[in-house]
Amino acid sequence: MNTIHLRCLFRMNPLVWCLWADVAAKLRSLKRYSVFTFQRMKFMNRTSPYYCRRSVLSLLISALIYAPPGMTAFTPDVIGVVNDETVDGSQRVDERGTTNNTHIINHGQQNVHGGVSNGSLIESGGYQDVGSHNNFVGQANNTTINGGRQTIHDGGISTGTIIDSGNQDVYTGGISNGTTIKGGNSHCSGQVILATVLQ
Distance in angstroms (rounded) separating the CA atoms of residues 65 and 186: 38
pTM of the model: 0.63
> For position 79, what pLDDT does the model report?
94
Confidence at residue 81, expressed as pLDDT on a 0 to 100 scale: 98
Cα radius of gyration rounded to whole Å, the chain: 37
State pLDDT tens for residues 109-129. Answer: 999 999 999 999 999 999 999
Q: What are phi and psi of 169, to 5 degrees?
A: -115, 120
Strand 103-104 to strand 86-87: parallel, antiparallel, or no bridges (unpaired)? parallel
Q: What is the residue-averaged pLDDT of the chain?
A: 78
CA–CA distance, 74 with 29 (Å, rounded to integer): 62
pLDDT of residue 164: 96
Task: Give the Cβ contact number of residue 157 at 10 Å.
Answer: 21
Measured CA to CA, the distance from residue 42 to residue 33 in angstroms comes to: 14
CA pair distance 148, 87, nearest whole angstrom:
13
**Tell me, what's the pLDDT at 71?**
47
Band of residue 189 on the pLDDT scale cut at 50, 70, 90: confident
Confidence of residue 187 (pLDDT cuts 50, 70, 90): confident
Instruction: Pick the closest to residue 149 from 182, 108, 115 (CA basis).
Output: 108
